[in-house]
Amino acid sequence: MNKRRPIFNPKRARAKTQPDIVVVEKQLQIMPPAPHLCQVCAVAHEPDEAHNPQSFYYQYTFAMQYKRSVTWADAIAHCSEQKQELWIQFLTKLGIDIHSPDIMGGIESKEEMNRRLYGSNSMG
């Protein structure tokens, strides 16, 4: 029998964005981020930029350490005061409470985000 080569599947070929999770002795363990990534949130960003609170790695390790969900306030706590102020202005414009674990502030689509940022008339 002729073995066919597997058909290219873009869903399977998509870039790996989340860290590996392995089950060891029935305990969920999470692998540390690759060395080129932020070691707190496992996302590539400059050290003085905000951590990504949408990162599964950050959410998981934060919850394990602090027994609560990560917030934007946590994600920007290490930034300069000036940078924190910019984030707070931006998030406030989006209607997101930086102290809430609801890091998306109920935003469920790009359209909703644009509407909150620019108002309902400018997005056509």
Q: Which residues of the shown chain bind Zn ion in the complex (CB under 5 A)?
A: 38, 40-41, 51
How far apart (Å, rounded) are the C-alpha atoms in residues 60 and 50?
A: 17
Residue 54 CB, nearest distance to Zn ion (Å)? 11
Residue 51 CB, nearest distance to Zn ion (Å)? 3
Residue 45 CB, nearest distance to Zn ion (Å)? 5
Nearer to Zn ion, 76 or 107 (CB): 76
Residue 114 CB, nearest distance to Zn ion (Å)? 25
Nearer to Zn ion, 42 or 96 (CB): 42
3-state DSSP percent of the chain in helix, strand and coil, to 5: 35, 5, 60
Tokens 């998509």 -> residue: 14
Nearer to Zn ion, 41 or 96 (CB): 41
How far apart (Å, rounded) are the C-alpha atoms in residues 110 and 7?
A: 33
Nearer to Zn ion, 54 or 123 (CB): 54
| Bridge partners of residue 22, in order along the sequence | 29
Cβ atoms 42, 58 nearer than 8 A: yes
